[in-house]
Amino acid sequence: MNKRAIVPVKLSLNQGDVYTLWAPPWRENGAEWQAFLGDDTTILGFHDPEDLLLYIETHERHDLSSHPEWNRFHAQPAHRVVPRERDHYDLVTTPEALAGRASYENVSRVAGDFELTEALANVGGADTATIFFASNSVTRGVHRGADHFADSKDQAEWNAIGHAVANNWAAVMESINEVVRVPDLQFSEERKHDAHDRIAQATAQAEAARAEAEERRAAEAENADPYDSSAWAAAGIDPIKISLQGKTVYSLRTYVDSSPVFLGSYGEIFTFPSAKQLGRWMVENNDHDLARVSTWSDLSTLANAGELEVQVHPDNAYSFNGIAEVIAAGPEAVDSEQMNRAYELMADAADWAGDDSLNSYLLANPRFQDYLSYMLGSSESAGYVPSRPFDDKANSWRELEDMLTKRFSKF
């Protein structure tokens, strides 16, 4: 159900301004309905929001009490009866809007006035107003928007609507006034003041909450990672940058059911010396494992249109530079986070390639396996403490790097 299933509205009629509740068309049991706050005989209008609030608080039976969203609406704070600015319908001066040009503002205003007037006529049984809309189908044009009246032919239609309203609107308004009644209420001044205070307090709280939410959204937008709104993030496929042995290469990777999938095939990772070359390659190449990912076509389409820039998020940049050298200097010199990210990339590549080369190497070199477990904080390293010399550990790390670069198509 629409959150605005029941809407407070302010109506400017011949008898003055009145406030009421409108339930725009909804479907129930296969039929379409709409309603206003009424008492089975007429639509009820109130001089101010305070009277409207007190009425619905003291009268359980009315034409909206059976609405499927009434209980939810009625449970809202007191300012639920205060119309938004866009829900003020000045029906008396509708002809004035039609006398002006078919601007966005005028067309939108007239479309809203017509919608409310026809709704009041249908619900309240205002025959003259109902006949006006039924006999002047030209009035439907305003619901197509201002663009509908852009050329001279459609400007003539706007003028025709104006003529129809100018000749009939007084009678239409008279019939609407007959079906909207302001009840004679006997609420004390004390109760009116209380209703006013409750509405003011609820309005202030809502405005404060809205301002706080806007500030929060602004702060989130300011701190938002631009990558999160990129085509790469939407596709779930990330460019990766690998700096190793004094060189840098670029490729792509994603995860499908938690398993890594690289740009490549048969265990070979397609790598490129620059992000631009990777982007150009994507334009005409779809023979690789990532092409089987459902969102690859989205990226491929953008690449072919020249609208895809290869951008690497810092989380997807892997640097192996200097790791082997600092391993030889001792555990305290190693950046464990850098080592951990580098090892994760090597493990992902082996996992995707579907071979046991990495695990086999570690099983064949248990001392280095213990060292890695210790450096990466694995529970399997319990009781192990690295000891000199560390050159053999550095050499083993270099062999892992070589295993990775052998998977690259270009290096």
**Could you tell me the two tokens for 368?**
């280095």
Closest to 231 (Cα-Cα) out of 316, 293, 280, 296: 296
Distance separating alpha carbons of residues 234 and 226, to the nearest angstrom: 12
* Residue 238 and residue 299 in contact, taking contact as beta carbons nearer than 8 Å: no
- pLDDT for 67 equals 94
Distance separating alpha carbons of residues 146 and 150, to the nearest angstrom: 7
Q: How far is CA 345 from CA 82, 238, 320, 328, 362, in A?
A: 59, 13, 10, 22, 16
Closest to 194 (Cα-Cα) out of 72, 78, 74, 82: 78
Q: How far is CA 85 from CA 4, 9, 88, 275, 364, in A?
A: 14, 9, 6, 51, 76
Total Cβ atoms within 10 A of residue 197 = 12
- pLDDT for 1 equals 38
- pLDDT for 384 equals 77
Q: What are the two backbone dihedrals, phi and then psi, of residue 42, each rounded to the nearest 5 degrees? A: -145, 165
For residue 406, which amino acid is it?
Answer: K
Claim: this prediction has a pTM higher than 0.85: no
Which residues sit opposite 12 in a β-bridge?
17, 90
| Residuewise pLDDT in 10s, the chain (411 residues) | 345 799 999 999 999 999 999 999 998 888 899 999 999 889 999 999 999 999 999 999 999 999 999 999 999 999 999 999 999 999 999 999 999 999 999 999 999 999 999 999 999 999 999 999 999 999 999 999 988 888 767 688 999 999 999 999 999 999 999 999 999 998 999 999 999 999 999 999 999 999 999 988 888 777 788 898 899 999 999 999 999 999 999 999 999 999 999 999 999 999 999 999 999 999 988 899 999 999 999 999 999 999 999 999 999 999 999 999 999 988 899 999 999 999 999 999 999 999 889 999 999 999 899 899 888 887 665 667 788 888 999 999 999 999 999 999 987
* 194 burial via Cβ count (<10 Å: 0-12, 13-18, 19+): middle
Q: How far is CA 51 from CA 11, 190, 213, in A?
A: 15, 12, 31
For residue 411, which amino acid is it?
Answer: F
**Could you tell me the two tokens for 407?**
């998977």
- pLDDT for 382 equals 62
Closest to 371 (Cα-Cα) out of 403, 408, 407, 339: 339
- pLDDT for 152 equals 67
Q: Is beta strand 31-36 parallel, antiparallel or unpaired with respect to 16-28?
A: antiparallel
